[in-house]
Amino acid sequence: MGLTFFKNTVLLVVLTIISCGSSVEKKEQSEEKKESQETGLKTQDAQIIVGAEQFQLYSELLKSKNVGVVANQTSFLENENQHLVDFLISKKVSVKKVFAPEHGFRGTADAGEHVKDGIDSKTGVPLISLYGSNKKPSQEQLKGIDLVIFDIQDVGARFYTYISTLHCVMEACAEAGIPVIVLDRPNPNGHYIDGPIMEPENESFVGMHPIPVVHGMTIGEYAQMINGEGWLKDKIKCDLTVVEMQNYTHETPYSLPIKPSPNLPNAQSINLYPSLCFFEGTFINAGRGTDMQFQVFGAPSLPASTYTFEYTPQANEGAKNPKFKGQLCHGKDLRNEPRLSKINLEWLIDAYNANGNLPAGKAGKKDFFNSFFVKLAGTDKLQKQIEQGLSAEEIRGSWKDGLANFQKIRAKYLLYP
């Protein structure tokens, strides 16, 4: 009996130690996860593995194929420390052409700047621009290609043109009978859905589909929606394969390892982009020509008494001729704003109203918007609502039915919780 008592005592002590250790470990993991979420960094206990990193899932599809790759600087394999094109060539994949979107293959061109064809100096592979004379690959450009890989980091906003490039590539490949593989990547703004739905009469390259400004989908999910909703010309279907990620959810915080374009330099700019990009359709500068792109906004004419932050735009990478180049701008500094989970309309409305209180002879409300604003919004209703003096909440209320309908459509194509 004494021996049994001793064994039970020892067992109880061991179990207590294990239990305490487990509690401490769980607490530490919880603290790490909380800190990760607060900083917007990738979670450490569930490292996201992007589609490109999972070569074993798509390598068989590439065997004996002449491959075209739609790529830019974000098409990078962190685990291999290599660009996708370099990695594929090292694996003896026959990469025949690289197709480059807006900002070019290396991602240094200005927004909207004509991108030229060329040759990649590192690999010798021909570069075909999809932001030059044509945004859709021609049948001649696809000649000799058996399969196309699409691997570009998106940021989850309708007016960010990489999803328009995706549409054009899928359509051209469907017409040519060429399969497309999308290597999926996270959406850093995938945790919410917001904004007005684009109306067909306002279709452009900054809005090709009837979706809200913030769609909450990965590039792979979005490709499935393009196919499934019959958005390609004549409702043609693309032979589509999506290589899914591991350990990703739409709520998973994610900071991009490489900036997706010259004027989205960090996680803060990417999170603020869906809200501040509306200023591109006004005379307000949204930080272009600074190192605070899409983290500040301002103009020389905004009242310094209210807009106390000052900065002076200058030519830089991605903004050779920014608005108010060399002029002192009065504005707001949003670099320390908390992470957004909805579009902020107050900044836009306040700037519009402040601009209407200027002295005679200076730019007023009638000069605030330009023709690009309706294309960005996807509807003329938003401009009219602001001009009519509606509040942000009143405007948001008008989006409710459209967003509810989109949610139902979106649900059919989700690959992740």
Q: Residue 176: pLDDT band by 50, 70, 90 thresholds? A: very high
- In this prediction, residue 120 carries a pLDDT of 82
Region of poorest pLDDT, from 11-20, 69-78, 292-301, 360-369: 11-20
Using CB atoms within 10 Å of the CB of residue 83, give its burial: 0 to 12 exposed, 13 to 18 middle, 19+ buried.
Answer: buried
- In this prediction, residue 5 carries a pLDDT of 39
Mean pLDDT of 6-24: 39
**Structure-model confidence comparison of residues 265 and 22, the more confident one:** 265
- Which of these, 255, 256, 316, lies nearest to 285 by C-alpha position? 316
pLDDT tens digits along 104-156 = 776 554 555 555 668 887 888 999 999 878 999 999 999 999 999 999 999 99
Strands of the sheet containing 126-129, edge to edge, are 118-119, 126-129, 94-100, 66-71, 147-151, 180-183, 240-243
Q: Are 214 and 197 in contact (CB under 8 A)?
A: no
- In this prediction, residue 116 carries a pLDDT of 63
Right CATH for 51-256 from 3.40.50.12170, 3.30.420.40, 3.30.365.10, 2.60.40.10: 3.40.50.12170
pTM of the model: 0.86
- In this prediction, residue 119 carries a pLDDT of 84
**Spans of all domains in the chain:** 51-256, 267-379
Strand partners for 246: 49
- For 149, the token pair is 């890989």
- In this prediction, residue 17 carries a pLDDT of 36
Average pLDDT for the chain: 88
- In this prediction, residue 114 carries a pLDDT of 52
- In this prediction, residue 391 carries a pLDDT of 98
Q: Residue 362: pLDDT band by 50, 70, 90 thresholds? A: low
Residue 4 scores a pLDDT above 90: no
- In this prediction, residue 46 carries a pLDDT of 65
